């Protein structure tokens, strides 16, 4: 197992859902970057479960930075962020009965039964907490360069939010809401639907839409290190993400080229496109327009309805009725994880483009 991603800026994750602690190591940051611990805390708060629409496992997510930061600034060495686990209930899990939709069986085969199965172990959504902590550092750096990121809940089953319109205002709105929708009525309807689904012992998935504003043109590489391919690798590393599309995405298949080619024009002395069907990316490289993409998050596989499974000890068919504390939906908590992964991926690409010194200039 190798839980490391990135080229110039790397992220390494460690820990398990019910282990003593989880954490992240961010390597590649130059010395002299201000580390805002209050902002890290505020980002972690966006990921915390709240109300009836989330799991009842309540972790404080108090973090400790044990290396790489001195007197509030990065030292140039790896930044280590650790978060203790304090409310585990391992007795709710049955290792011999793999949970449908989870990584239990695949992990059991890959690691020969030596995996930590408690609460999903290293595959748990609990590991997104250190991702958010690390991502907060990247978001702060990008904000200092005039690059902002916002994600809203575009769809929850049959309920849809509006798309981004006024990019700057909408991104600001996303980043001030716990349940981030651009239309409050859509948000209320979604939350009521999630509560209803949860009361029935089931779960629901959704679609998140992200906007990156201020990314300069010329970032990214053709083919193997395109913005799309790099971002997709980071985004698909989020548990539960099953689809990623950029710009119009699969909608391109329904349109002729005359309708979806983004025509260029000069506006205010700057080259822009009249439309943004390609989501701010051409040939794998940013064109200066807002980068728009969506991710599909599957329904939480932990549900309270009886399910078919197998008993790995007896190798017989079995029934599974879950116990424990589980989310009827995870996409509203995952949106800050998407922001975090996006910021870290873009930081990696920007250092490739402009070099490490660009971060502190």
Query: pLDDT for 28-56, tens place per residue?
Result: 999 999 999 999 999 999 998 776 676 65
* Percent of all residues in the chain with a pLDDT value above 90, rounded to a whole number: 76
Please spell the DSSP secondary structure of 220-283, one letter per residue. Answer: S-SGGG-HHHHHHHHHTTSTTEEEEEETTGGGGGGS-HHHHS--EEEETTEEEES--TTTTEET
* Rounded Cα–Cα distance for residues 210 and 249 (Å): 13
Q: Provide the pLDDT for residue 90.
A: 64
Nearest of 49, 34, 81, 88 to residue 62 by alpha carbon: 81
Locate the domains of the chain by residue range: 4-352
Q: Which residues pair with 291 in a beta bridge?
A: 212
DSSP state of 327: -
Q: Which residues pair with 49 in a beta bridge?
A: none
Q: Provide the pLDDT for residue 57.
A: 56
Q: Provide the pLDDT for residue 274.
A: 96
Per residue in 198-250, pLDDT tens? 989 999 999 999 999 999 999 999 999 999 999 999 999 999 999 999 999 99
Domain 4-352 has CATH 3.60.150.10: yes
Q: What is the reported pTM?
A: 0.94
* Percent of all residues in the chain with a pLDDT value above 70, rounded to a whole number: 95
Q: Provide the pLDDT for residue 58.
A: 57
Rg of the Cα trace of the chain? Answer: 21
Q: Provide the pLDDT for residue 169.
A: 97
Q: Which residues pair with 108 in a beta bridge?
A: none
Per residue in 50-87, pLDDT tens? 766 766 555 578 999 999 999 999 999 999 999 998 86
Per residue in 256-288, pLDDT tens? 999 999 999 999 999 999 999 999 999 999 999
Q: Which residues of 241-265 are buried (b: 16+ CB within 10 A; e: fewer)?
A: beebbbbbeeeeeeeeeeeeebeee
Nearest of 295, 175, 171, 139 to residue 231 by alpha carbon: 295
Please state the separation of Cα 49 from the chain's center in Å.
Answer: 15
Cβ contacts of 64 within 8 Å, gap of 6 or more:
81, 82, 83
Burial group, residue 158, by CB count within 10 angstroms (0-12, 13-18, 19+): exposed
25 vs 360, higher pLDDT: 25
At 352, is the secondary structure helix, strand, or coil?
helix
Q: Provide the pLDDT for residue 59.
A: 59
For helices 128-144 and 37-47, what crossing angle results, to 10°? 130
Q: Is the pLDDT of residue 16 over 80?
A: yes
Q: Provide the pLDDT for residue 123.
A: 86
Q: Provide the pLDDT for residue 109.
A: 92
> Confidence band (pLDDT; 50, 70, 90) for 346?
very high
* Rounded Cα–Cα distance for residues 48 and 41 (Å): 11
> Confidence band (pLDDT; 50, 70, 90) for 321?
confident
Rounded to an integer, the average pLDDT of 152-167 is 96
Mean pLDDT estimate for the chain: 92
Rounded to an integer, the average pLDDT of 136-149 is 98
Q: Provide the pLDDT for residue 88.
A: 64
Q: Provide the pLDDT for residue 89.
A: 66
Q: Provide the pLDDT for residue 187.
A: 96
Provide the terminal-to-terminal Cα distance of the chain, rounded to the nearest Å: 37
> Confidence band (pLDDT; 50, 70, 90) for 95?
confident
Q: Provide the pLDDT for residue 1.
A: 65
Q: Provide the pLDDT for residue 271.
A: 94
């Amino acid at each position: 197992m190798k839980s490391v991603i990135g080229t110039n800026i790397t992220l390494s994750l460690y820990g398990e859902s019910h282990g003593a602690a989880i954490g992240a190591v961010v390597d590649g940051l130059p010395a002299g970057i201000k580390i805002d611990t209050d902002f890290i805390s505020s980002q972690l708060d966006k990921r915390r479960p709240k109300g009836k629409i989330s799991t009842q496992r309540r972790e404080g997510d108090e973090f400790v930075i044990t290396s790489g930061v001195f007197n509030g600034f990065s030292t140039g060495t790896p930044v280590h962020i650790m978060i203790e686990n304090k409310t585990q209930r391992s007795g709710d899990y049955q290792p011999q009965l793999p949970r449908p939709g989870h990584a239990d069986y695949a992990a059991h085969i890959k690691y020969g039964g030596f995996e930590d199965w408690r609460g999903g172990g290293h595959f748990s959504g609990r590991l997104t907490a250190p991702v958010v902590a690390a991502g907060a550092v990247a978001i702060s750096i990008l904000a200092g360069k005039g690059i902002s990121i916002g994600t809203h809940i575009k769809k929850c089953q049959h309920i849809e939010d509006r798309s981004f319109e006024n990019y700057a205002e909408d991104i600001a709105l996303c980043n001030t809401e716990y349940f981030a929708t651009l239309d409050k009525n859509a948000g209320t309807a979604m939350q009521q639907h999630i509560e209803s689904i949860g009361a029935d012992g089931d779960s629901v998935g959704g679609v998140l839409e992200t906007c990156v504003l201020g990314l300069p043109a010329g970032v990214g590489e053709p083919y193997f290190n395109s913005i799309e391919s790099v971002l997709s690798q980071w985004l698909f590393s989020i548990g539960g993400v099953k689809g990623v599309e950029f710009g119009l995405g699969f909608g391109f298949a329904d349109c002729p080229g005359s309708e979806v080619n983004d025509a260029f024009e000069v506006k205010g002395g700057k080259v822009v496109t009249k439309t943004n069907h390609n989501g701010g990316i051409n040939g794998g490289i940013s064109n200066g327009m807002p980068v728009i993409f969506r991710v599909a998050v599957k329904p939480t596989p932990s549900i309270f309805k009886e399910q078919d499974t197998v008993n790995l000890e007896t190798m017989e068919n079995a029934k599974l009725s879950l116990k424990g504390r589980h989310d009827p939906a995870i996409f509203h908590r995952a949106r800050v994880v998407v922001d975090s992964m996006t910021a870290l991926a873009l930081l990696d690409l920007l250092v490739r483009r402009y070099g490490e010194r660009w971060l502190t200039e």
